[in-house]
Amino acid sequence: MPLHHYVTLGRSGLRVSPFCLGCMTFGTEWGWGSGVEDSQAILDHYLGAGGNFLDTANVYTKGHSEKIIGDHLGRYPERRDRVVIATKFYSSLYPGDPNAGGANRKSLIAACEQSLRRLQTDYIDLYWMHCYDDTTPIEETMRALDDLVRAGKVRYLGFSDTPAWKVAQAQVLAQWRGWSPLIGLQIEYSLAERTVEGELIPMALELGMGVTPWSPLKNGLLTGKYTRETAGQHKEGRWEFATQALTDKTYCIIDVLLRVAQEIGSTPARVALAWVQSRPGVTSTIIGARTLQQLEDNLGALDVVIPAEQLAALDEVSRPTLNFPADVLIYVANFAYGGATINGRSSTVLPFLPQDDTERY
């Protein structure tokens, strides 16, 4: 699938590329990332290949990520209008100010105005709530976001890193009151992080939200760089929890990933990205890159088709342990379907249920 074969995000008409360019690496203020010129080159290469979906946040590199995008695209209307710019509110950039972060009306409206200034645009295409704020009533957040949409400062809304029950509450509340609905759900999802399949993914499918996974390579652990043979030889990455995730199960996943990549003549990173993009509910996977080489390698994942046998191997080795009642629900068809096949899902008649009409009282 080429980058310019666009897909609609959730239950909306917004067309986005199947790979979204993550811009957290734009700027070096966090001690890593790309300088201004390299960031602009990465951005130009992505757009030149047909991409149109950018993801940033007010807090990324202390606001510099948004400014790099604004300097390069925002000040040129003919460029800006062709791009879907997504940014986020929640994080505070003003130490000591209790209302500078979170999802309350004062905070999120101020964050929006500041992002518009840095991005040098008068509207944000997709505005994400970065994290769940348990100190703010969800109706306050959703009404304030709806006001931004009605004011023309925001086009679409989405949530990131929020419990499924709270996202569902927000979505139903918006639908009931006629407010702007959520069309996107941004969550961590990869071969090494599949617990979202218990609640978040099914919720997104049911409530009309397109999933945009972040960290599909698990902070680089699924690139092939980390193997059993090189265990302990790598320094801590930019996130301390990255290498802490190198458990025996992660190494088992990496072992199969390396084998599959070799069998189909691809790279581990491309296979891992292709796996995520093929999952139910996933609309556009967020890919990051500090160099043009990394970007080109990641974009190559759009051409990867994982054969059924190899796909089954990846699914099996990465199968997660889900929270209750996920494991129980696997077997409910046997209780309800009576041996029939419904919507492609087959069932068996359990031995403790009536086997024919003579066994029923």
Catalytic residue among 60, 156, 189, 226: 60
Q: List alpha helices for 278-331, DSSP H.
A: 292-299, 308-317, 326-329
Distance of CA 28 to the CA centre of its chain: 23
The residue written with tokens 């390299």 in the block is: 38
Give the Cα separation of 306 and 314 in Å (integer): 10
The residue written with tokens 């100010």 in the block is: 97
Q: How many residues does the chain have?
A: 361
Q: Is 60 annotated in the active site?
A: yes
Give the Cα separation of 137 and 166 in Å (integer): 10
Q: Rounded to the nearest 10 degrees, how much is the dihedral formed by the CA atoms of 344, 326, 275, 209?
A: 90
Which among 200, 88, 176, 175 has a CA at the least distance from the CA of 133?
88
HSE value, Cβ hemisphere, 13 Å, CA-based, for 124: 31
Backbone phi, psi, residue 87, to 5°: -140, 175
Task: Give SS3 for 80.
Answer: helix
- In order of 232, 240, 242, 262, 318, the CA distances from 246 in angstroms are 10, 11, 8, 21, 13
The residue written with tokens 């109706």 in the block is: 139
Residues 66 and 73: beta-carbon distance below 8 Å: no
Query: What amino acid positions are annotated as catalytic residues?
Result: 60
